[in-house]
Structure 1
Amino acid sequence: MNDGAGAMRFALLGSGSKGNALVVEYAGTRVLIDCGFSAREIVRRLARLDLVPADIDAVVITHEHDDHWRGVSRFSRAHGVPVWLTPGTLAARRASELAAIELYSPHEPFAIGDIELFPYPVPHDAREPAQLVVGNGDKRLGVLADIGHATPHVREMIDGCDGLVLECNHEPQLLAAGPYPAYLKARVAGRLGHLSNAQAAELLAGIDASALQQLVVAHISESNNRPELAQAALAGALSCTADWVHVANQSEGLSWRTLVNR
């Protein structure tokens, strides 16, 4: 049950290079965004949120990379959950084992039950990647990870959101000195890779954040970043205290956060 009448809430099952999944709930509809853990692990992590697979109305996949796709075929098939994905993502994956396939365009909004989804294209090294703004007709949650650089359209889409899940993947100095091979360092830091702390902070500083109730650091690298660095960067952009910025980690994710109606 939601933490307030008519409120939308969200939680992250986990976030990082080893797996990503996020659940949004509003008025009896629950959507899982990405399914980057094994099906068994998805079920285990849903249970931490007092959910079971039958509670999930649909899975929306943002792109085909394994840390967003890993468990979706088995989860969909085992529990009869339809999967929404872009035509490019479908072309990049053998999706014949999904329970049901629904296509969405990264340029057109769509709805699943009571939840509205506004996808938008992002620069990332996948076939047809998208990220999402999720709404209930009143509040808006921006989800933005797996993006190499912020385009004007990306800024426009997340402007004025009430909640924001924002990638802070790496700290450039830690990435440069870290264990990744040179080609992978170049990919991560490239224009089709992932946002650094400074890039995320610059993006945040350039949008209207006056309505922001919840801010979550996502897709943080365990090898090339530290949570306190990401928190400090985003807090600096908002002139708030670092402890106001939540961090979704790989193992525990982040428990329910509610976007309240004011």
Structure 2
Amino acid sequence: MRFASLGSGSRGNATLVEWPGGTLLIDCGFSVREAESRLQRLGQSPASLSAILVTHEHIDHIKGVAAFARRYQLPVYMTPGTWQSRDFGVLPDLRLLETTAPFMIGDLLITPIAVPHDAREPVQFILQHEQRRLGLLTDLGSIPPHVESAYQTCHALILEANHDSTMLASGPYPASLKRRVGGQWGHLNNQQAVGFLQRLDISLLQHLVIAHISQKNNSPDLVRQAFSGVVAAIAEVTYACQDEGFGWLVVR
């Protein structure tokens, strides 16, 4: 199994997961043309995709989902709440998923994880193939016990470190948006993400990707400084960016 990102941040998010049986696109927060270009950069053709998974309805995650699915006749998986939250138009193959029910795409096991975020019915995902587990965990404002339990013993983890609390407080956002981003239904700050990682069993973790880093309320240097004391035992640490995401990482 391997995974990559088309881009990560408030201007668009999309993650690719490839295994011997297919390739998934998780979210598509870019226009069809932009997504096609970013796929090409990763050496991937839209024709190779098996399906699109959707985490929630915010525009930086679903901007291109419906049009991309229609153009390439792809199944789209999302929760009923996400489906009802927006007019996606006619989708070629809509699959509604339950937040408590794992499901299969080929021989890939996908477990949705309900998360606290200011969306209708948001989820994140754990994907497993041949005992290798990839966890995707962004777009949540707090970490309840069921989330912490679910992400133990991953072999790879994409983890949000959205903002630095001091930068957010003194930054350009209006007060209402600061409260939203920094609240328990918003986004994880650096210290929340670090604390979560400290509580995980990371003995199997080959790859840690720090993702959804705000360009206005965080910086790569602050993120690296925050994580410096907890990543020494992890084989490879990657910092995702908005423009290029990150390249292919292999889970062995």
TM band (smaller chain)? over 0.9
Residue of structure 2 in register with 1:253 after alignment:
245
Identity score, percent? 48
User: How far is 1:240 from its partner?
Assistant: 4.7
Tell whether the 8 Å contact from 1:116 to 1:137 is kept in structure 2 after alignment. Answer: no
CA distance in 1, matches of 2:221, 2:153: 25
Per-residue Cα deviation, 1:202-254 (whole angstroms, up to 9, x for no partner): 0000010110000001110000001122133233224458x942111000000
CA distance in 1, matches of 2:236, 2:190: 16
8 Å contact 1:134–1:140 — kept in the other structure? Answer: yes
Q: Write the letter of the residue equivalent to 2:91.
A: L
Letter in 1 for 2:34: E
Provide the secondary structure at the position in 1 that maps to 2:230.
Answer: helix
Range with bigger deviation, 224-233 or 102-111: 224-233
Distance 1:55 1:233 in 2: 38
- The C-alpha deviation readout for 1:104-160, integer Å capped at 9, x for no partner, is 111110111232111110000000000000110310001000000001010011111
- Give the whole-Å Cα distance in 2 for the aligned partners of 1:191 and 1:233: 20
Indicate if the aligned counterparts of 1:174 and 1:225 stay in contact, CA closer than 8 A. Answer: yes
Q: Which runs of 5+ in 2 are unaligned?
A: none
- What is the aligned counterpart of 2:115 among 104, 122, 125? 122
Residue 30, structure 1, aligned to residue 23, structure 2: yes
Determine if the alignment matches structure 1 residue 85 to structure 2 residue 83.
no
Contact 1:217 1:231 in 2 (8 A): no
Task: Provide the rounded CA distance (Å) in 2 between the counterparts of 1:74 and 1:97.
Answer: 10
After the TM superposition, which of the residue ranges 160-169 and 227-236 deviates more from structure 2? 227-236
Among 151, 156, 161, which residue is 2:149 paired with? 156
Answer yes or no: is 1:73 the counterpart of 2:32: no
Backbone CA RMSD of aligned residues: 1.3
Does the Cα contact within 8 Å between 1:234 and 1:245 map onto a contact in 2? no
Where does structure 1 lack aligned partners over 5 or more consecutive residues? 1-7
Between the aligned partners of 2:125 and 2:102, the Cα distance in structure 1 is 9
The TM-score normalised by the length of structure 2 is 0.97
Q: How does 1:176-195 map to 2 (within 5 A)?
A: 176-195=169-188
* Residues 244 and 26 of structure 1: CA distance in aligned 2, closer, same or farther (over 3 Å): closer
Secondary structure in 2 matching 1:237 = coil
Deviations 1:9-37 (A, max 9, x none): 00011000111000000013101111111
Deviations 1:42-90 (A, max 9, x none): 1111101111111110000000000110001110111111100000001
Matched with 1:21 is: 14
CA distance in 2, matches of 1:31, 1:170: 28
Contact 1:62 1:68 in 2 (8 A): yes
Which residue identity does 2:118 align to in structure 1? Answer: D
Measured in 2, the distance between the counterparts of 1:99 and 1:37 equals 19
Picking from 212, 221, 232, the partner of 1:219 is 212
Q: Is the 8 A contact 1:81 1:100 kept in 2?
A: yes
- 3-state SS of the aligned residue for 2:92? coil
Deviation at 1:39, TM superposition (A): 1.1
- Count of residues paired in the alignment: 252
Query: Is the CA contact 2:159–2:193 (under 8 Å) kept in the aligned structure 1?
Result: yes
Matched, 1:209 2:220: no
CA distance in 1, matches of 2:128, 2:179: 35
Instruction: Measure, in 2, the Cα distance between the counterparts of 1:160 and 1:171.
Output: 27
Hey, what's the Cα distance between the residues in 2 that align with 1:109 and 1:233? 34
CA contact (8 A) 2:231 2:237 kept: no
